[in-house]
């Protein structure tokens, strides 16, 4: 039975459980919601400078652990990101503006919001999934640029 399930799905589930455990740790020990865009955004626009040390420590772990783990476990890991600078810049701007307007991204609204049945988290997730799906149709299948 297990053998018929693609490996990627199993690793997805295992990694997902790790992500959820990290969010649980941050909530129960530090009393904070683990939202990647909020943790970084609060540093960028100074709204979270009162808790700057904690935010910087979180981001340090988020950057450092994959930096050590990726070469040790997989040798070389690639994000396979687009080679088109215009696409990358447009995407980054949209993600930066959008997550701050919506006050959350996949981790904050998706993982932390849905798990507490937050209407805002569920609505946000529906709309960013919808926009992501439409973007794939338009920019991949119609325009063929991604």
Residues 117-146 that bind another protein (CB under 8 A): 118-121, 123-125, 127-137, 139-141, 146
Give per-residue burial for 110-138: e unless 16+ CB within 10 Å, then b.
Answer: bbbbeeeebeebeebbeebeeeeeeeeee
Beta carbon of residue 96, minimum distance to another protein (angstroms, whole number): 2
| 3-state secondary structure (DSSP) of residue 88 | helix
56-85 positions binding another protein, by CB under 8 A: 56-67, 69-71, 73, 76-83, 85
- Concatenate the DSSP letters of all residues of 106-141 into one string: IIIIIIIIHTTT-HHHHHHHHHHHHHHHHHHIIIII
Q: Which of 50, 92, 143, 144 binds another protein (CB under 8 A)?
A: 92
Binding of residue 4 to another protein (CB under 8 A): no
Q: Which of 1, 2, 28, 143 binds another protein (CB under 8 A)?
A: 28
């Amino acid at each position: 039975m297990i053998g018929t399930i693609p490996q990627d799905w199993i690793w997805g589930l295992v990694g997902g459980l790790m992500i959820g455990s990290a969010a649980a740790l941050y909530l129960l020990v530090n009393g904070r919601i683990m939202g990647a865009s909020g943790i970084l955004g609060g540093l960028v626009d100074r709204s979270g400078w009162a808790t700057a040390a904690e935010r910087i420590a979180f981001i340090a772990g988020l950057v450092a652990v994959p930096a050590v783990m990726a070469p040790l476990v997989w040798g070389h890991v690639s994000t396979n990101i687009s080679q088109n600078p215009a696409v990358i810049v447009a995407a980054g701007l949209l993600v930066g503006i959008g997550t701050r307007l919506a006050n959350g991204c996949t981790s904050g609204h998706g993982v932390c919001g849905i798990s507490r049945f937050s209407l805002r988290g569920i609505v946000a997730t529906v709309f960013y999934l919808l926009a992501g799906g439409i973007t794939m149709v338009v920019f991949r299948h119609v325009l063929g640029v991604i």
